[in-house]
């Protein structure tokens, strides 16, 4: 585990804030390079994943005990475990040596908005229909990036699945807040476009 990344998230924790990470593992590398056309210098994006900070819970651990909400596809072959879609996890999941970049973003929201935002995230994480992580939509977004059609709906849109950035944006839309600047369809939300947004009033970054 990377103590530096963990310390960064602990220092800038607040419920409902948006987190971005840039991982250098295989999947992270593919996602970062797939967003290259969106970056100002047309190089690979720094960012591969987006999630929401939830509550701190006294769970007997000494690492800050920050829980998060995210849409992800997690496969552990040694434990025969597969977690697919919107889920609740602990932030230490992303405090790894493979994380090269981290960012925390926030809006000025009221306590009532914060509560509604986290209630929506919790509802989606434990909904009986369970929104999946859409591998197909990633290719649809890549096609939209290459063809400059980000304002149009994803050609592989699946109403029962959401990408990580789409999930984060959905939760904010529930409280009538937008977090991405420009005409980007909900189904083409991406970590890079969240990072580029000028709508956030709080921004902190960490780079390895």
Q: What is the CA radius of gyration of the chain?
A: 16
Whether residue 47 has pLDDT greater than 80: yes
If phi > 0 it is left, if psi is from -120 to 50 it is alpha, else beta; for residue 16 that is left
Q: Name the pLDDT band for 131 (thresholds 50, 70, 90).
A: confident
User: By C-alpha distance, which of 73, 106, 104 is closest to 87?
Assistant: 73
pLDDT of residue 81: 47
Q: How far is CA 106 from the centre of its chain?
A: 13
90 DSSP β-pair partners = 67
DSSP state of 31: H
Say whether pTM exceeds 0.95: no
Q: What domains appear along the chain, each with residue ranges and CATH number?
A: 3-207 (3.90.1720.10)
Of the candidates 2, 118, 129, which has an alpha carbon nearest to the alpha carbon of residue 68?
A: 118
The string of pLDDT tens digits covering residues 95-111 is 999 999 999 999 999 99
| Helix, strand, coil percentages for the chain (3-state, nearest 5) | 35, 25, 40
């Amino acid at each position: 585990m990377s103590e530096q990344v963990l310390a960064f998230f602990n220092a800038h924790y607040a419920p409902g804030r948006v987190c971005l990470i840039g991982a250098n593992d295989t999947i992270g590398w593919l996602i970062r390079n797939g967003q290259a056309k969106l970056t100002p210098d047309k190089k690979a994006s720094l960012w591969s994943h987006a999630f929401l900070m939830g509550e701190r819970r006294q769970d007997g651990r000494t690492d800050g005990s920050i829980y998060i909400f995210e849409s992800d596809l997690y496969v552990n072959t040694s434990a025969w475990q597969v977690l697919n879609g919107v889920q609740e996890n602990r932030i230490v999941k992303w405090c790894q040596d493979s994380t090269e970049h981290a960012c925390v973003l926030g809006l000025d929201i009221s306590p009532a908005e914060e509560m509604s935002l986290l209630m929506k995230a919790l509802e989606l994480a434990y909904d009986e229909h369970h929104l999946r992580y859409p591998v197909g939509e990633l290719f649809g977004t890549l096609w939209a990036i290459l063809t400059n059609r980000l304002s149009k709906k994803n050609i592989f849109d699946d109403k029962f699945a959401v990408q990580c950035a789409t999930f984060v944006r959905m939760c904010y839309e529930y409280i009538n807040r937008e977090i991405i600047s420009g005409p980007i369809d909900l189904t083409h939300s991406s970590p890079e476009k969240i990072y580029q947004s000028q709508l956030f009033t709080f921004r902190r970054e960490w780079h390895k």
